[in-house]
């Protein structure tokens, strides 16, 4: 934790506010090129427009910065719901280190994820990865291993069916793929790193999942909040060659119990009213549904400041 706190202290934040008297808040994200960096940047822009001076502070992965937010080291963070729930209860890679002060601001758009391979390869399905070198390890981003397990399970495989290429994070995994060390990499659709990889290798192919109830049940054994989402080809989703189904799960903006209610209220309102602004920054926010911000968050709780806004809007669903 000392290293993480020092990292945040030294991080050069990207300021998105200009008003001299605007209240300054921090948003923890993962590294540039990652989905959470993109989400955090979009949220910061919406916060700025609403009068909050938001600064994003990147770290390697959510399993580093979620506890930092929980301890009050920074006001907000962007992460996936499953990992926040694990951190809250001290489960999985947070075993023995519960973070009871974590609170949810709101659900944002879902993260839709795929394993990407070269478009000119003969790999056309997840099953075709069997026996080939594939990114693995994710020592700095524990959340990825059960997601890989979930995706592989839909093809009746496990990570042991591939030759492991050890990487610390999804960004490093994409770099290993670009370098030719791995035949594929896992990443979120729409992330900047996917576009970089697409350009670097001359085109990507995103491997879909077969959307059966049995496959969804298998995936949820590894990633309980998983669902399947359909995507169509478009400029913002390199690798999607035709309408197909992919692995997905909810994303959240989260905070800690000690952040004052008014600050959380303002950010919640900025999110609710800022879809157009956020989609201009990061196009996957076109899938964001503000009316669903107060949806099912499992074992987590909404912050009182968020609850106040949702009650005013009549959309609180829990």
Domain CATH code at residue 233: 3.40.190.10
Q: Are residues 119 and 173 in the same domain?
A: yes
Q: Are residues 122 and 245 in the same domain?
A: yes
Q: Are residues 236 and 144 in the same domain?
A: yes
User: Burial of 282 by CB count in 10 Å (0-12 exposed, 13-18 middle, 19+ buried)?
Assistant: buried
Full-model pTM = 0.80
Q: Are residues 79 and 117 in the same domain?
A: no
What does the pLDDT read at residue 121?
97
Is 173 among the domain residues? Answer: yes
What does the pLDDT read at residue 141?
86
Is 171 among the domain residues? Answer: yes
User: Model confidence over 225-265: pLDDT tens digits?
Assistant: 999 999 999 988 999 999 999 999 999 999 999 999 999 99
- Total number of domains constituting the chain: 2
Q: Are residues 138 and 224 in the same domain?
A: yes
Is 259 among the domain residues? Answer: yes
The residue range of the domain holding 132 is 111-249
Spans of the chain, pLDDT less than 50: 1-20
What does the pLDDT read at residue 20?
41
Is 318 among the domain residues? Answer: no
Q: Are residues 99 and 77 in the same domain?
A: yes
Domain boundary among 230, 249, 268: 249
What does the pLDDT read at residue 126?
98
Please give the Cα distance from 65 to 58 (Å, whole number).
Answer: 9
What does the pLDDT read at residue 184?
98
As a whole number of Å, the end-to-end CA separation of the chain is: 33
Please give the Cα distance from 293 to 272 (Å, whole number).
Answer: 8
Q: Are residues 118 and 245 in the same domain?
A: yes
């Amino acid at each position: 934790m000392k290293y993480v706190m020092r990292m945040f202290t030294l991080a050069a934040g990207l300021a998105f506010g200009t008003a001299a008297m605007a209240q300054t808040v921090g948003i923890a994200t993962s590294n540039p090129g990652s989905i959470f960096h993109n989400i955090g940047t979009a949220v910061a822009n919406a916060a700025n427009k609403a009068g909050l001076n938001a600064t994003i502070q990147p770290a390697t992965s959510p399993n580093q910065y979620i506890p930092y937010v929980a301890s009050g080291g920074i006001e907000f963070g962007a992460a996936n719901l499953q990992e926040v729930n694990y951190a809250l209860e001290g489960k999985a890679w947070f075993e023995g280190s519960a973070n009871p002060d974590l609170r949810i601001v709101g659900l944002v758009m879902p993260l839709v994820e795929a394993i990407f391979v070269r478009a000119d390869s003969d790999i056309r399905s997840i099953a075709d990865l069997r026996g080939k070198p594939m990114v693995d390890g994710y020592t700095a981003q524990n959340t990825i291993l059960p997601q890989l397990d979930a995706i592989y399970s839909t093809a009746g495989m496990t990570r042991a069916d591939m030759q492991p290429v050890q990487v610390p994070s999804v960004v490093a995994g994409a770099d290993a793929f670009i370098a030719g060390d791995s035949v594929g990499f896992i990443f979120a659709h729409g992330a900047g790193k996917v576009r970089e990889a697409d350009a670097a290798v001359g085109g990507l192919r995103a491997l879909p999942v077969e959307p059966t109830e049995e496959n969804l049940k298998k995936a949820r054994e590894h990633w309980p909040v998983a669902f399947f989402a359909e995507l169509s080809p478009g400029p913002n989703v390199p690798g999607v060659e035709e309408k197909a189904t992919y692995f997905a799960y909810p994303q959240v903006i989260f905070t800690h119990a000690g952040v004052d209610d008014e600050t959380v209220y303002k950010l919640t309102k900025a999110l609710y009213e800022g879809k157009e602004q956020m989609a201009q920054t990061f196009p996957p926010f076109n899938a964001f549904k503000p009316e669903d911000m107060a949806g099912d968050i499992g074992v987590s709780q909404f912050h009182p400041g968020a609850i106040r806004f949702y009650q005013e809007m009549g959309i609180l669903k829990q």
